[in-house]
Amino acid sequence: MINCGLIIPTLNAGAQFRTLLEQIAAQSLPTKKLIVDSESSDDTASLAKKSGLEVLTIPRKNFNHGATRQLALEILLEREPLDVIIFLTQDVLLREDDSLAKLVKIFGEDSTVGLSYGRQLPHANATNEAKFLRAFNYPEDSQLRSFDDRKIFGLKTAFASNSFAAYRAGALKDVGGFPSHVPLCEDMYVAAKMLLAGWKIFYAAEAQVFHSHNYTAAQEFRRYVEIGKFHAQEPWIRETFGSAEGAGKKFVLMKLAALAKKNPVDCFGAIFRDAAKFFGYRLGRLMFN
């Protein structure tokens, strides 16, 4: 039996969080659960407590994507030895009662795997653009990637998402855990470190959650400013695995072609949002430099 922990950072999770808590309670995989709440002003923390989950409250100003996850990780590991730590975000919905079990199954089968992340399906209200993004990043077939695969997949070799991911505790320790100094993309940072250290990354397509966003151009701009800062701050990732720009161009062309087939009108909004991403990313790179 693999001993697992489950960590979810929260902030005003909203009505959907109640459904997620019910789904977590129904999971076939037993886990030690910890919610790290950044002073929610709604009933997020109280709902989690009523569901039997431990809640750690931290000052909202202290939240950091990497440091907060590392804090929660250390708290769980101080209490008892755990083999695997699962991370979710508050806005996912688990598709099946064994979604978590399917996510961590690979750790019992392959001792070289340090990170497993699952398939993200679009929510019911997802736009055609959001649906394409999920299909592009989370295909139907599982995949095992090692450092050598960077020659094939480039930057995508180090792709992962902490919205639905599991880490071997020993592998996390091996690479120093989650970073506290990056604004975003702590999952890619750790994935890249693991690949460099000889660990493998597994994409578990059978482990599934619903998770998608219908971002506005302004939201995309702000996100990509932070992503740009990350890539400027950690140039070793681009130098080792390849540039984000090349993969981005291919993605945009594929997306526009797919949208044109379904609803050509969607292309106009997509182009506007892609422009926001591009300028946000470039600005982020310049701001850090």
CATH number of the domain that residue 138 is part of: 3.90.550.10
Interacting residues of 253 by C-beta distance below 8 A, sequence separation 6+: none
- Which of 171, 189, 210 is the endpoint of a domain? 210
Are 95 and 153 part of one and the same domain? yes
Are 222 and 205 part of one and the same domain? no
Contact 78, 85 (CB under 8 A): no
Domain that holds residue 273: 217-288
pLDDT band of residue 246 (cuts 50, 70, 90) is low
Per-residue tokens: 160:
């992962």
Are 190 and 265 part of one and the same domain? no
Are 43 and 64 part of one and the same domain? yes
Are 131 and 8 part of one and the same domain? yes
Are 58 and 169 part of one and the same domain? yes
Are 128 and 243 part of one and the same domain? no
Are 282 and 164 part of one and the same domain? no
Summarised one tens digit per residue, pLDDT across range 56-86 is 999 999 999 999 999 999 999 999 899 999 9
Per-residue tokens: 161:
């998402």
Q: Name the residue with higher pLDDT: 272 or 205.
A: 205
- The rounded distance, in Å, linking the Cα atoms of 183 and 185 is 7
- Which of 210, 243, 262 is the endpoint of a domain? 210
Summarised one tens digit per residue, pLDDT across range 112-135 is 999 999 999 999 999 999 999 999
Are 181 and 281 part of one and the same domain? no
CA angle, 168 then 172 then 176, to 5° = 170
Are 51 and 171 part of one and the same domain? yes
Count up the domains in the chain and report the number. Answer: 2
Residue 185 has pLDDT above 70, yes or no: yes
Mean pLDDT of the chain: 94
Are 221 and 150 part of one and the same domain? no
Strand partners for 54: 34
Are 228 and 282 part of one and the same domain? yes
85, amino acid identity: I
- Which of 192, 210, 228 is the endpoint of a domain? 210
pTM of the model: 0.94
